[in-house]
Copies of this chain bind each other. A is one copy, B any other.
Amino acid sequence: MATTPEPTTRVRRIPELQRHDRRELDAVLDAGLVAHVGIVDDAQPYVLPLAYVRDGDRLLLHGSTGSRLLRALAAGAPTCATVTLLDGLVVARSAFESSMQYRCAMVFGRCTPVEDAEVALGRFTDGLLPARTSEVRPSRPKEVAATLILELPLDHWSVKVSDDDPEDPDEDLAGDAWAGVLPIETRYGLPRPAGDLRAGIGVPASVRQLEGQSITPPGAGGG
């Protein structure tokens, strides 16, 4: 199902970059934190950054019941959720051949509010900070009610991975210009305690395990 060719998921531009393995989709989605989600309102597209977590065969998108566009998403408007991981600048011997290394996943479909809101909020929390739910109090019913978690099934999607060196024509290879890749790295830094943190409360395991870690390890989505 996931790789059924659909009009919306066939990559027309540079099709050789497309990947068809579901594991490659998961690798890209699992390395990202924010999806850019498209929604149309009166013929005007809006692109909203939404925190997300992959939970099996669905994306969980986190929003608030207070947002008009999110309510439209929840009502089932067609959407596209795009996750892009930028891996580097491809510096070719000409301006024309210069480009970027990236991994990009697009998921098409319609969202629905999750039926298991409390479970989904936990999955969401632990998806960002593993086992964080074990360190905090349970969510209160009014908190669950005020949180809008949408699910988008991973049925229709496309993945594109650009991880090549620059490809210059022969006549440029003979020239004096440098060519290569300038990598881009995204990492978690050192945790900063809140100004109102009570004395004696140390950095918990959920945060400590991410400190200094690469968020989007190069090649995680490559193949």
Contacts and interface: CB of A to CB of B under 8 A. Distances in A.
27 contacts: A8-B44, A12-B67, A13-B64, A34-B86, A36-B49, A36-B84, A38-B38, A38-B45, A39-B45, A44-B80, A45-B78, A46-B80, A47-B47, A51-B100, A96-B121, A96-B139, A96-B143, A98-B129, A135-B177, A137-B172, A165-B195, A178-B197, A178-B203, A178-B207, A180-B194, A184-B189, A187-B187
Interface of A: 8, 12-13, 33-34, 36-40, 43-49, 51, 64, 66-68, 70, 78-82, 84, 86, 88-89, 91, 93-96, 98-100, 102, 104, 106, 108, 121-122, 124-125, 128-129, 132-133, 135-137, 139-140, 143, 146-147, 165-166, 168, 172-198, 201-204, 206-207, 210-211, 215
Given A47-B47, A47-B80, A133-B95, A197 B179 contact: yes
A16 to B, nearest CB: 13
How many subunits of this chain does the assembly comprise? Answer: 2
B98 A125 contact: yes
B91 A129 contact: yes
A76 B88 CA distance: 30
Which of A45, A64, A95, A189 has the most B CB atoms < 10 Å from its CB?
A: A95
Nearest to A194: B179
A13 to B, nearest CB: 4
A124 to B, nearest CB: 8
Contacts of A108: 44
B181 A198 contact: no
Nearest to A203: B178
Contacts of A190: 183
A185 B187 contact: yes
A182 B165 CA distance: 33
A143 to B, nearest CB: 4
A46 B40 contact: no
Which of A47, A146, A196 has the most B CB atoms < 10 Å from its CB?
A: A47
Nearest to A49: B84
A84 B34 contact: yes
A139 B93 CA distance: 11
Given A95-B143, A166-B194, 6 more contacts: A89-B128, A91-B132, A180-B191, A180-B192, A181-B192, A183-B192
